[in-house]
Amino acid sequence: MIYSTLHTEGASTLIWEITESETDLKKMLSNYEVYVPEFKKLRTNKRKFEFLAARIALNILAEREVIVNYTSEGKPFCVDNNLKISISHSGSWVVVMAHPTCEVGIDIEVPTDRFSKLYQRFLNKTEQKSLFDANDLRKVQLAWSAKEALYKIIGNEAVNFDKQLEVMNFRVDNEGSFKGIHTLTGKEFTLHYSISKAFNLVYCVDN
């Protein structure tokens, strides 16, 4: 079921809550035949549902059938199409983002307290002091999603989240933006976020 669509900075985003059956999703994916060999390799129902929903969503955003493949770094791209895309999933949610010319990165996360134990793995010492609050994990959760989104844009030069990416301190609201820096190059990115009861969403358009 389509939850909502967003249009910002020239990019289109579709958020999908998976409530359909596998059979229903296959029927909705008009070019499913193209993906049969890849689909048969998927082992879990969750992964199958995410796979199908993401490709349906991309067809909707592109307003035509597109074929998704992956680079050697695992970055999704549209075959024979210049559309820049990003895909994320968490729980029963899938989100896809597309832009005609700019690289994009997006991450969706169902809120969880696991970050209370994991934050030291992806935040540097400065970030830990400014972003971590044991009583309010929203900043830490958004910082994780920000780094996921930036990694999807930058690639392997941003694989070490605590060393190669840094999130600037920011005020948490229902929605807003903050800065992230790729420390190897000094390049600054603007990340946008939205918080709901069901999920947190962070995205970036590399204009």
Q: What would the pLDDT profile of 110-130 be if each residue is shown by its tens digit?
A: 999 998 999 999 999 999 999
Cβ(156)–Cβ(165) below 8 Å: no
Which of 1, 148, 145, 102 has the alpha carbon at shortest distance from 60? Answer: 1
Round to whole Å and give the CA distance between 78 and 173: 34
User: Among residues 48, 68, 101, which one ends one of the domains?
Assistant: 101
Write out the H or E segment, with its range, that includes residue 105: strand 103-109
Domain identity same for 64 and 136: no
Which pLDDT belongs to residue 1? 74
Is residue 117 located within the same domain as residue 171? yes
Per-residue pLDDT at 18: 97
73 and 153: one domain? no
Q: Is the pLDDT of residue 80 over 90?
A: no
| Structure token digits, residue 5 | 């669509």
Average pLDDT over residues 94-106: 97
Residue 154's pLDDT is 97
Model confidence over 23-74: pLDDT tens digits? 999 999 999 999 999 999 999 999 999 999 999 999 999 999 999 999 988 8
Q: Answer yes or no: do 94 and 115 share one domain.
A: no
What residues pair up with 200 in beta bridges, in sequence order?
A: 109, 195
Looking at every residue in the chain, the average pLDDT score rounds to 95
Are residues 83 and 122 both part of a single domain? no
- pLDDT on residue 140: 97
In which band, very low, low, confident or very high, does the pLDDT at 101 lie, cut at 50, 70 and 90? very high
Amino acid 91: pLDDT: 96
What is the domain range of residue 20?
2-101
21/41 same-domain check: yes
pLDDT value, residue 105: 98
pLDDT bucket at 5, cuts 50 / 70 / 90 = confident
Read off the pTM: 0.95
Note the pLDDT of residue 52. Answer: 98
Work out the percent of the chain whose per-residue pLDDT is above 90: 91
How far is residue 67's CA from residue 61's CA, in Å, rounded to a whole number?
13
